[in-house]
Amino acid sequence: MKTTLRIRRGSAGETPRFEEFDVAFEPGQSVLDGLRMVRRLIDPTLAYRYSCINANACKECMMLIDGTVDYACTVRLKQGVMTLAPLPKKALIRDLVTEIAPPDERL
């Protein structure tokens, strides 16, 4: 069984494109688990943000998952195709990474 992650790729100023990656599906895995598999086994250039170890930096993995803003660490993988895109209305940095801190909080 597999899941296909259809991921919007590109950097600010580039024309966005979608790339598809097949990952093994196991019930209970999160979208974040799938993204980590893609980066570890298929494409190490995939950019996304997470910080599960640091409770003070939660909300790092927020993205558009099948058209809904949600956390990649809490949404479960499903069989078939799942579409992932960066947060809407946020400045794009690269791939699934957007600027999340307000301008006055950035160092």
What is the tens place of the pLDDT at every residue in 31-71?
999 999 999 999 999 999 988 765 555 778 999 999 999 99
- Which range marks the domain in which residue 39 is found? 2-105
- How many domains in the chain? 1
Residue 104, pLDDT above cutoff 90: no
CATH number at residue 61: 3.10.20.30
pTM, 2 dp: 0.88
Amino acid letter, 98: T
How much of the chain, in percent, has pLDDT values that exceed 90?
A: 77
pLDDT of residue 38: 97
Q: What is the DSSP string of 17-51?
A: EEEEEEEE--TT-BHHHHHHHIIIII-TT------
Higher-confidence position of 91 and 58: 91
